[in-house]
Amino acid sequence: MNGLQINPEEYITEISFSKNRFLLVEGSDDEAFFTLIYNFLRSNKAQTPAENLNLLKNIIIDTAEGIKGELGNRAKIEKICELVAQESSNVSNRVLGFVDREFREFEYNNELNDNIKTHKINNRLIWSRGHSIENYFFEISTLRETFNDYLISSLYQEAFEIFESKFDYIIRTACALSLAGFSENLLQLIATFLEKSLDWQCIDITSTSVKINLEEWKKILDKKFNLDQLRIEKLFNKFETYLNMTN
């Protein structure tokens, strides 16, 4: 807000003296996402109902990165929304928090279930519909526009058609990887694996699916990350289990 780090209680005090509306999100990526939506709605006034345009006035999109404390960004927002719900409606109605749902309220033991199936709304707090805000981009039509904007190769159409035909397999595999990492307390490591170890040599593309070559991946995990064989085997077993579920 004012460029200085303040605690949740001080943040609410500043809100109470303001006339603006506040959307509080976890980090800069979330801020950028909602800013895009905000600008899109404001620039399409003819297609946006007047009452919604009125609500868009005086909105500040804030991140929890400016809130000090030992809590993580998600927990900071949840704390602020809990406190602000106790304020008068003149204050509470001007604040909304949006956080990643992460793995909460999903069941993934013998089968995969979403126990909410919508956005969870608790007073002034909203959980993302899926694990995180990135899930909102998992639509092939959205990705098609992105491909179209950034790829100029003459092979674009052929490449995108291949990608589109494998899209479901890619999403299911990514879900299985994240669940396996979460269950084995290797989630952060999985993210690093995907970025630094899961290169093209580990990916087998067939006419019907996309598969990870575990033997090739194991070599890289052992060589680059010194992950012991027992942990690798446990991770791979969980990955196969969750992949069967997602399929």
Q: HSE on the CB side for 56, CA within 13 Å?
A: 18
The pLDDT value recorded for residue 26 is 96
Using the predicted structure, report yes or no on whether residue 138 has a pLDDT greater than 80: yes
The whole-number average pLDDT for the span 18-36 is 94
Judge if 98 and 118 occupy the same domain. Answer: yes
| pLDDT, tens only, 114-125 | 999 999 999 999
Q: Cβ–Cβ contacts within 10 Å for residue 208, how many? A: 9
Judge if 242 and 187 occupy the same domain. Answer: yes
Judge if 130 and 159 occupy the same domain. Answer: no
Using the predicted structure, report yes or no on whether residue 189 has a pLDDT greater than 80: no
Judge if 145 and 119 occupy the same domain. Answer: no
Judge if 31 and 126 occupy the same domain. Answer: yes
Q: How many domains does the chain have?
A: 2
The pLDDT value recorded for residue 60 is 93
Residue 247 to residue 244: CA distance in whole angstroms? 5
Judge if 61 and 105 occupy the same domain. Answer: yes
Judge if 49 and 67 occupy the same domain. Answer: yes
The pLDDT value recorded for residue 34 is 94
Q: Phi and psi of 184, rounded to 5°?
A: -100, 15
Could you say which of 115, 134, 153 is where a domain stops?
A: 134
Please state, for a pLDDT cut of 70, what percent of the chain lies above it.
96
Domain of residue 223: give its range: 140-246
Domain assignment present for residue 1? The answer is: no
Judge if 113 and 211 occupy the same domain. Answer: no
The pLDDT value recorded for residue 117 is 92
Task: Map residue 19 onto helix, strand or coil.
Answer: coil
Judge if 151 and 125 occupy the same domain. Answer: no
Using the predicted structure, report yes or no on whether residue 2 has a pLDDT greater than 60: no
Residues in a beta bridge with 61:
23
Using the predicted structure, report yes or no on whether residue 31 has a pLDDT greater than 70: yes
| 54 — pLDDT class (breaks 50, 70, 90) | confident
The whole-number average pLDDT for the span 209-224 is 84
Domain assignment present for residue 3? The answer is: no
* 98 CB burial (10 A radius; 0-12, 13-18, 19+): buried
Domain assignment present for residue 52? The answer is: yes
Residue 127 to residue 124: CA distance in whole angstroms? 10
Domain assignment present for residue 38? The answer is: yes
- Least reliable range by pLDDT among 28-42, 76-90, 144-158, 164-178: 144-158
Domain assignment present for residue 13? The answer is: yes
Could you say which of 134, 162, 188 is where a domain stops?
A: 134
Judge if 52 and 91 occupy the same domain. Answer: yes
Domain assignment present for residue 212? The answer is: yes
Residue 22 to residue 4: CA distance in whole angstroms? 17
Could you say which of 134, 165, 199 is where a domain stops?
A: 134
Residue 3 to residue 151: CA distance in whole angstroms? 38
Residue 169 to residue 172: CA distance in whole angstroms? 5
3: region left, alpha or beta (phi > 0 left; psi from -120 to 50 alpha): left
